[in-house]
């Protein structure tokens, strides 16, 4: 009678499959002629817990693509034939490793010419400094001669002509020193210019060798050996495998429930285990790394970046869904270990007096170790926690070590629990 009343109450919610399963379950569990045997069997010791109303967070989802935290596209900066591409997609590379070589012999020649010009400028600077030192010595001699002639002239021992010659020689020495100093500064400027030209030529010559900007993995090869590379032409793509992230657009009305550092669940369609089998959902635990401050005016959404575990077995470009915890709601829950699953059918054992009754239930979300019951139970009914394998419908039971009557009134969704 009790089972028939349950069919009338929950048959619509559970659907025809669940009802059909409920009808055949007693026979499968040893109903009918096995009832006396169950009555004579000693009672099983079981732990029970009540179905209670719990405050759960309503989850919502947002989809996006999985990307590497750091990506780079290597492009050519010169026009030159590609001599060699030393890596293939999937190869791991180290920072500074040469990945692509271009035919840049003309650039190397220009760099060599610039180095030679810089060496010539060094020699010119040395010559200018020597000339400056000679002019300084000549000026010192001219000044000494001028002082002696002036002294002799004051004693009437030197003529006016000798004084004029000493003055002229001093002025000529001063002018020669000024000229030597100007030429020395000119040589130093030429040396600086030559060195800058040499560095520019060396940098330009380095454009013939493309190196890895960071440790990573080659994800795509966009050119082949022998092709003519042009400025801005992509040749390779790299990813930093230090970490992945999922970028999703979240509706602006959900902004209050998304914050940096929050723990979320990321659902990714995993590759099938073998050919002909359907893919399964891979659940990953992520952390909200960044929340955009601006809202897209057209889509009325904002960008959220979720960091994934470093060892996540997913490929970049894969579509994934992020599950966030939304507003709280009241729901009827039981310990998750009380729910038995057989395919798509879920059931619990309800303690009715001294007997355990099998009850089909409709299970919703999982949160904090508790399962939400959408249909099949009423608040206050006691269910068997971790039901033993020998427990069957109608079996006598004895409740021991009962679970607490008042579970937590608020539970945040745990990563990977919501179906």
Q: What are the pLDDT digits (tens) for 186-220?
A: 888 888 887 887 788 787 888 888 999 998 889 89
The stretch 170-196 carries a mean pLDDT of 84
- Label the pairing between strands 228-229 and 209-211: unpaired
Cα separation, 141 vs 173, in Å, equals 9
Q: How confident is the model at residue 221 (pLDDT cuts 50, 70, 90)?
A: very high
What's the average model confidence in pLDDT over 212-232? Answer: 90
CATH number for region 2-56+329-411:
2.40.420.20
Beta partners for 396?
A: 355
d(CA 292, CA 302): 6
Domain over 105-188 is classified CATH 1.10.530:
no
- pTM above the 0.95 mark? no
The listed CATH number (3.40.50.800, 2.40.30.170, 2.60.40.10, 3.40.50.720) that belongs to domain 63-69+241-326: 2.40.30.170
Strands 345-352 and 355-367: antiparallel
Average pLDDT over residues 45-57: 85
With contact defined as beta carbons under 8 Å apart, do 174 and 77 qualify?
no
Q: 């952390």: which residue's tokens?
A: 287
Instruction: List, in sequence order, every residue forming a beta bridge with 199; answer none if it has no partner.
Output: none
Q: What is the DSSP string of 187-244?
A: HHHHHHHHHHHHHHHHHHHHTTEEE-SSSEEEEEE---TTPEE-TT-EEEEEE-TT-E
Q: Which of 108, 85, 88 is nearest to 211 (CA)?
A: 85
- The answer to whether the beta carbons of residues 75 and 233 sit under 8 Å apart is yes
Please name every residue paired with 100 in a beta bridge, in sequence order, or none if there are none. Answer: 85, 210
Closest CA to 104 of 209, 199, 197, 196: 209
Q: What is the pLDDT of residues 100-158, one digit of tens each?
A: 999 888 877 877 887 888 888 888 888 888 888 888 888 898 889 888 888 888 888 88
At residue 400, the pLDDT reads 79
> What residues does each domain of the chain span?
2-56+329-411, 63-69+241-326, 71-104+208-239, 105-188
pLDDT of residue 98: 93
Alpha carbons 405 and 408: distance in angstroms, whole number: 10
pLDDT at res. 15: 44
3-state secondary structure 131-166: HHHHHHHHHHHHHHHHHHHHHHHHCCCCCHHHHHHH
How confident is the model at residue 174, as a pLDDT?
Answer: 86
Q: In the structure, what pLDDT confidence band is assigned to residue 182 with cuts at 50, 70 and 90?
A: confident
pLDDT tens track for 355-390 = 899 999 998 877 777 888 889 888 989 999 989 888
Instruction: Provide the pairing of β-strand 397-399 with 44-50.
Output: parallel
Class for the domain spanning 71-104+208-239: mainly beta
According to DSSP, residue 273 is labeled S
pLDDT band for 22, please (50, 70, 90 cuts): very low
């Amino acid at each position: 009678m009790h089972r028939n009343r349950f069919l009338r109450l929950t048959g619509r919610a559970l659907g025809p499959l669940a009802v059909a399963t409920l009808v055949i379950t007693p026979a499968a569990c040893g109903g009918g002629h096995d009832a006396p045997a169950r009555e004579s069997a000693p009672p099983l010791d079981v732990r029970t817990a009540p179905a209670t109303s719990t405050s759960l967070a309503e989850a919502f989802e947002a989809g996006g693509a999985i990307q590497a935290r750091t990506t780079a596209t290597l492009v050519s900066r010169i026009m030159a034939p590609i001599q060699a591409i030393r890596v293939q997609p999937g190869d791991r590379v180290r920072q500074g490793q040469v990945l692509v070589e271009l035919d840049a012999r003309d650039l190397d020649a220009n760099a060599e010419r610039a180095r030679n010009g810089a060496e010539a400028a060094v020699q010119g600077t040395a010559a200018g400094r020597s000339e400056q030192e000679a002019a300084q010595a000549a000026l010192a001699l001219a000044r000494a001669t001028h002082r002696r002639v002036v002294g002799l002239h004051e004693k009437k021992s030197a003529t006016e002509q000798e004084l004029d010659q000493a003055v002229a020689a001093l002025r000529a020495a001063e002018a020669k020193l000024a000229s030597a100093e100007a030429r020395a500064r000119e040589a130093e400027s030429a040396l600086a210019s030559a060195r800058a030209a040499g560095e520019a030529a060396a940098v330009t010559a380095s454009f013939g060798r493309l190196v890895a900007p960071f440790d990573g993995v080659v994800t795509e090869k966009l050119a082949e050996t022998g092709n003519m590379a042009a400025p801005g032409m992509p040749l390779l793509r790299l990813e930093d495998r230090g970490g992945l992230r999922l970028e999703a657009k979240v509706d602006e009305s959900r902004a209050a429930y998304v914050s940096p550092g929050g723990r979320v669940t990321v659902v990714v369609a995993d590759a099938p285990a073998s050919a002909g089998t359907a893919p399964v959902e891979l659940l990953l635990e992520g952390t909200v790394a960044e929340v955009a401050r601006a809202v897209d005016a057209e889509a009325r959404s904002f960008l959220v970046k979720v960091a994934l575990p470093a060892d996540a077995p997913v490929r970049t470009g894969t579509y994934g869904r992020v599950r966030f915890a939304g507003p709280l709601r009241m729901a009827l829950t039981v310990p998750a270990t009380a729910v038995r699953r057989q395919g798509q059918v879920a059931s619990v054992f309800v303690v009715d007096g001294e007997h355990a009754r099998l009850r089909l239930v409709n299970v919703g979300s999982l949160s904090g170790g508790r399962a939400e019951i959408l249909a099949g139970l009423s608040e206050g009914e006691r269910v068997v926690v971790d039901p033993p394998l020998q427990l069957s419908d109608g079996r006598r039971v004895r409740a021991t070590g009962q679970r607490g009557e008042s579970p937590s009134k608020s539970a945040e969704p745990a990563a990977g629990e919501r179906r």
